[in-house]
């Protein structure tokens, strides 16, 4: 079984003041960090969904393994999730690990723990004490259902609440804080 990685990095970052894919953390962009975490964790194919400032992101991070453009990026995360899952449909991945570009505290070890439960019928989320968060693994059997129910900035949240999800503790090796403000 293979697990693909999916980085959602299409937003304009209105609260942040710029697209978060272009935000630097140290010597790298957040989008480079997210793709690197997925690669280090063992994802065989990594797709990054771009939208706002897509050309600038591609120019600043030409080594991103594969990018797709979400023409509906302004409608919210759900359209980016659908775009990414559609891009993965033609491959052989049995599951996809989803990372958001604005969560640089999610580590490769956290992703590996989630991938350990990958299967076509799996739904897995990272656990941070009593909270569920990223990384999120969506087994291939769920991609159509996630795509059909994803709306606005809720992404797969409603689908995950309506279905059994395995929660894997990752809070000891990761931080799920998102960067909403500079």
Peptide bond between residue 175 and the one before it cis (omega within 30 degrees of 0) = no
Whole-structure pTM value: 0.96
Domain ranges for the chain: 3-169
Superfamily in which the 3-169 domain is placed by CATH = Spore Coat Polysaccharide Biosynthesis Protein SpsA; Chain A (3.90.550.10)
Residue 152: predicted pLDDT? 87
Q: How does pLDDT run across 133-152, given as a tens digit for each residue?
A: 999 999 999 999 999 999 88
**Residue 65 to residue 54: CA distance in whole angstroms:** 14
Q: Are 174 and 110 in contact (CB under 8 A)?
A: yes
The model's pLDDT over 28-42, given as tens digits with 9 standing for 90+, comes to 999 999 999 999 999
pLDDT averages per 10-residue partition of the chain, 182 residues:
95 92 95 98 97 97 96 95 96 96 97 98 97 97 96 90 97 92 78
């Amino acid at each position: 079984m293979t697990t693909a990685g999916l980085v959602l990095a299409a937003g304009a970052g209105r609260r942040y003041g710029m697209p978060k894919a272009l935000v630097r953390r140290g010597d790298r962009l957040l989008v480079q960090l997210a793709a690197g975490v997925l690669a280090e964790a063992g994802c065989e194919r990594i797709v990054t969904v771009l939208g706002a400032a897509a050309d600038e992101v591609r120019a600043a991070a030409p080594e991103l393994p594969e990018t797709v453009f979400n023409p509906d990026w302004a409608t919210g995360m759900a359209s980016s999730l659908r775009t990414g899952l559609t891009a993965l449909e033609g491959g052989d991945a049995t599951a996809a690990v989803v990372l958001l570009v604005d969560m640089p505290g999610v580590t490769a070890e956290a992703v590996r723990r989630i991938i350990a439960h990958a299967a076509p019928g799996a739904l897995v989320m990272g656990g941070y004490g009593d909270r569920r968060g990223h990384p999120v693994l969506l087994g291939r059997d769920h991609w159509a259902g996630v795509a059909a129910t994803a709306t606005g900035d809720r992404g797969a949240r409603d689908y995950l609440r309506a279905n059994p999800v395995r929660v894997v503790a990752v809070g000891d090796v990761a931080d799920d804080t998102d960067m909403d403000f500079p």
